[in-house]
């Protein structure tokens, strides 16, 4: 459970950083896998941030992106090597999200949401950093298809709607409103602290 909470917290912080710094908000573009009824998408965002200031007492850090914009983030207790962060350091963040959609047969059972999260910290003999991944798998239902723009909307188990774009090799004509898909969504983040050259 502790590892799950660490992963969730790190994903939340890194996602905030990525989104605050202009991570793409366009729908994921699904690509054919060669397996009938299955498509996948992966998107990666890499960014580096300069540490402008560190408030040790309040466990907050102010980061500056390549455009010169700054933002302050609260750092939770799960970041064990917070004291190693100093003004002038560089924080390298790699954020990746992936989605796999597979057509579910009419007689198959609905897959209730299943979540998993894992995290790993850099060793004491390595530069401060870590990686975390979290994913969820569940049955979703196709609610709209825009064939002209190759956009598909599906509804998740909690009623939320998501939109994806079908790539040119995805056989969109075989999909219809009401079809059920097994969706597997994963977010992964790696963060590394780099000290300035002496």
* pLDDT tens track for 31-76: 999 999 999 999 998 888 999 999 999 999 999 988 899 989 888 8
Q: Which residues contact 94 (CB under 8 A, 6 or more apart)?
A: 44, 45, 46, 189, 190, 191
Judged against a pLDDT cut of 70, whether residue 23 lies above it is answered with: no
Decide: 136 and 114 in contact? Cβ < 8 Å: yes
What pLDDT, on a 0 to 100 scale, did the predictor assign at position 15?
Answer: 46
Judged against a pLDDT cut of 50, whether residue 175 lies above it is answered with: yes
The overall average pLDDT reported for the chain is 85
Share of the chain above pLDDT 90, in %: 53
What pLDDT, on a 0 to 100 scale, did the predictor assign at position 178?
Answer: 96
Average pLDDT over residues 166-194: 93
* Range 67-106 burial, b when 16+ CB lie within 10 A, else e: eeeeeebebeebbeebeebeeebebebbbbbbbbbbbbee
């Amino acid at each position: 459970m502790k590892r799950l909470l660490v992963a969730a917290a790190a994903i939340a912080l890194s996602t905030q950083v990525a989104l605050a710094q202009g991570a793409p908000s366009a729908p994921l573009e699904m690509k054919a896998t060669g397996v009938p009824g299955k498509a996948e998408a992966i998107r990666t965002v890499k960014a580096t941030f300069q540490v402008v200031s560190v408030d040790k007492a309040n466990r907050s850090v102010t980061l500056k992106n390549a455009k010169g914009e700054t933002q302050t983030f609260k750092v939770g207790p799960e970041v064990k090597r917070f004291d190693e962060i100093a003004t002038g350091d560089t924080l390298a963040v790699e954020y990746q999200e992936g989605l796999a959609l597979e057509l579910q047969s009419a007689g198959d059972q609905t897959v209730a949401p299943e979540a998993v999260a894992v995290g790993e910290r850099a060793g004491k003999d390595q530069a401060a950093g870590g990686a975390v991944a979290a994913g969820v798998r569940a049955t979703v239902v196709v609610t709209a298809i825009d064939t002209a723009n190759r956009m598909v909307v599906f509804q998740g188990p909690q009623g939320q709607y998501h939109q994806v774009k079908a790539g040119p090799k995805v056989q969109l004509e075989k999909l219809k409103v009401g079809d059920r898909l097994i969706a597997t969504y994963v977010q992964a983040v790696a963060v590394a602290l780099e000290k300035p050259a002496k």
